[in-house]
Amino acid sequence: MQQGLTMYFESYINKESIFINKKALQPNYSPENILHRKEQIEQIARIMAPNLKLDKTSNIFIYGKPGSGKTLTTKYVIKELQKMAILKNIPLVPFYMNCKLRRIADTEYRIIAEVARELGKSVPVTGLPTEEVYNLFIEATDSKKQILVLILDEIDQLVKKTGDGILYNLTRLNEELKKAQITLIGISNDIFFLENLDSRVRSSLSEEEVTFPPYNAIQLQEILKQRADIAFRPGVIEDGVIEKCAAYAAQSHGDARRALELLRVAGEIAERNGFNTMAVAHIDDAEERIEHDQIIELVKNQPKHFQLVFYTILIMPKQSKKLFTGDIYEHYRRICSKIGIKSLTQRRVSDIIAEFDTLGIITARVISKGRYGRTREILLATQATMNKKLIKILEDAINA
DNA sequence: AGTCCACAGGAAGGGCAGGCGA
DNA sequence: TCGCCTGCCCTTCCTGTGGACT
């Protein structure tokens, strides 16, 4: 066996990879030429250009569905702007933050502290009053004449979690700054995000708005072709592969990120199975694999009671395929007492179920059963074939 | 038309962990 | 060591709600 393994590794090393540069398929790869976003690039550039004359520019709100190129395009324009700023000796400091990143940029304290740290201030991870962190931030920012461009990606997640107080504070900071100035760029997938903001915050944040429409299948094909030419050896991709991949992604609202991931995983599957070329069937396999892996990883990483509630939903008898909050809670409590764990309250379990819905592993909708009350009607969103595996994983995790 | 059910979901706050400065 | 601060997870208390039932 060991001999066989050595031979396997030997032949793996000697076999020519179908990839040349796999990085070109990764989400953070920035191509030299961004396709189908000329209009948005020009729009953002026009708004940001006054920075090069040290003039205050408008804050920008950028909206578009996931994988529509918002982040890539914004980063590209800011990078070009910064290049010019360096050339002309203009003190422009960009900061990119993804507000979805837990423990880094998901609270007011963390965001302000992170920027203050980048500007050279020492700020503890926790412990200071938020006002004190703002003071440190202002001190660091206003120490010299400079323009701070603060890009808050997935800004809706931040507001959902902490409220719009931080945006109110940030949009009003310029009034306190004497030398420096701040331009905010908010990026969001959620078109209704602005509607729920305080009107003052809304008008300050969206002084300018840039919309990213979803890519259509033809545009996706061109994007995939551009990246595939860099990522794969010539002649590796069989006819129809790019088209199939684009078609899959076009179904999920023109998500280019998903299309690229699909192509990468399909390439890996083809290579692992010893193929020298990539066929349409590999795209189908990749589609299944991606969804499968995402759900398993998600479930594995949940806290114990999340796992218990989801386990309950998986194993509950489903006479009519539909489950209700009250029934799930009863079953969940029984399981908890069986394994000797103190159960959470129904209020908390209700929130956990709502979170499952957000994560996409169940679909839940609030319905009224009239005389029999209002509740959530819950349906599993995972495939039956996967559920057995999930039950096994959860049993191991719960008993661990 | 009014009642009632079974929750949904908002608000307030408790308890704990991690961290700071005096 | 103590008081104070934030984040996180959770409970408790409460009001709101859609539609079947009376």
pLDDT tens per residue across span A184-221: 999 988 766 776 677 777 788 778 999 999 999 999 99
Q: Is the pLDDT of residue A230 over 90?
A: yes
Please indicate, yes or no, whether residues A137 and A259 belong to a single structural domain of this protein. Answer: no
The pLDDT mean for chain A works out to 85
Please indicate, yes or no, whether residues A356 and A275 belong to a single structural domain of this protein. Answer: no
Q: State which of A212, A228, A256 marks the end of a domain.
A: A212
In whole angstroms, B22 C1' to A128 CA is 14
The pLDDT value given to residue A159: 75
A287 assigned to some structural domain: yes
In whole angstroms, B14 C1' to A262 CA is 47
List the single protein residue with the shortest CA to C1' distance from C13: A347
Among A101-110, A153-162, A235-244, A314-323, whose mean pLDDT is lowest? A101-110
The pLDDT value given to residue A142: 84
Among A2-6, A226-230, A245-249, A339-343, whose mean pLDDT is lowest? A2-6
Distances in Å between the alpha carbon of A362 and those of A72, A77, A129, A351, A379? 31, 39, 39, 13, 6
Query: CATH number, domain at A181?
Result: 3.40.50.300
A356 assigned to some structural domain: yes
- Per-residue confidence band for A228, with pLDDT thresholds at 50, 70 and 90: very high
Please indicate, yes or no, whether residues A206 and A240 belong to a single structural domain of this protein. Answer: no
Q: State which of A298, A313, A330 marks the end of a domain.
A: A298
Own/partner contacts of A341-350, CB < 8 Å, gap of 24 or more, are A341/A304, A341/A308, A344/A305, A348/A305, A349/A309, A349/A325, A350/A325, A350/A376
A20 assigned to some structural domain: no
User: What share of chain A has pLDDT > 90, as a percent?
Assistant: 35
Which bases on strand C have an atom closer than 7 Å to a protein beta carbon?
Answer: 4-14, 16-21
A240 assigned to some structural domain: yes
> Which residues have C-beta within 8 Å of that of residue A76, sequence separation ≥ 6?
A30, A34, A41
pLDDT tens, A309-320? 999 999 987 655
Please indicate, yes or no, whether residues A186 and A269 belong to a single structural domain of this protein. Answer: no
**Would you say the C-beta of A365 is within 7 Å of strand C?**
no
Which domain, by its residues, includes A317? Answer: 302-399
The pLDDT value given to residue A272: 87
Structure tokens that stand for A15 in this block: 């076999």
In whole angstroms, B22 C1' to A122 CA is 19
Q: State which of A212, A233, A264 marks the end of a domain.
A: A212
In whole angstroms, B16 C1' to A127 CA is 15
- Collapsing DSSP to helix, strand or coil, A359 comes out as helix
- Number of C-alpha atoms within 13 angstroms, CB side, residue A180? 21
- Collapsing DSSP to helix, strand or coil, A56 comes out as coil
A17 assigned to some structural domain: no
Q: Please, where are the H alpha helices in A320-367?
A: 325-339, 346-359
Distance of CA A22 to the CA centre of its chain: 21
Number of domains in chain A: 3
pTM of the model: 0.75
Please indicate, yes or no, whether residues A241 and A358 belong to a single structural domain of this protein. Answer: no
A25 assigned to some structural domain: no
Of A278, A176, A195, the closest CA to residue A237 belongs to A278
The pLDDT value given to residue A297: 85
> Which residues have C-beta within 8 Å of that of residue A109, sequence separation ≥ 6?
A126, A128, A130, A133
Please indicate, yes or no, whether residues A91 and A232 belong to a single structural domain of this protein. Answer: no
The pLDDT value given to residue A106: 64
Q: Which of chain A's residues 291-330 bind strand B, using a 7 Å CB cutoff?
A: 324-327, 329
Please indicate, yes or no, whether residues A190 and A222 belong to a single structural domain of this protein. Answer: no
Residues composing chain A: 400
Please indicate, yes or no, whether residues A292 and A307 belong to a single structural domain of this protein. Answer: no
Please indicate, yes or no, whether residues A280 and A334 belong to a single structural domain of this protein. Answer: no
Measured over all CA atoms, what is the biggest interatomic distance in chain A, rounded to whole angstroms?
A: 72
Sign of the dihedral through C-alpha A154, A158, A164, A169: negative
Name which residue leads in pLDDT, A382 or A321. A382
Q: Would strands A374-380 and A323-324 be described as parallel, antiparallel, or unpaired? A: antiparallel
* CA separation for the pair A74, A62 (Å, rounded): 9
A115 with A94: CB under 8 angstroms?
no
Q: Is the pLDDT of residue A222 over 90?
A: yes
Please indicate, yes or no, whether residues A289 and A365 belong to a single structural domain of this protein. Answer: no
A372 assigned to some structural domain: yes
A255 assigned to some structural domain: yes
Please indicate, yes or no, whether residues A361 and A246 belong to a single structural domain of this protein. Answer: no
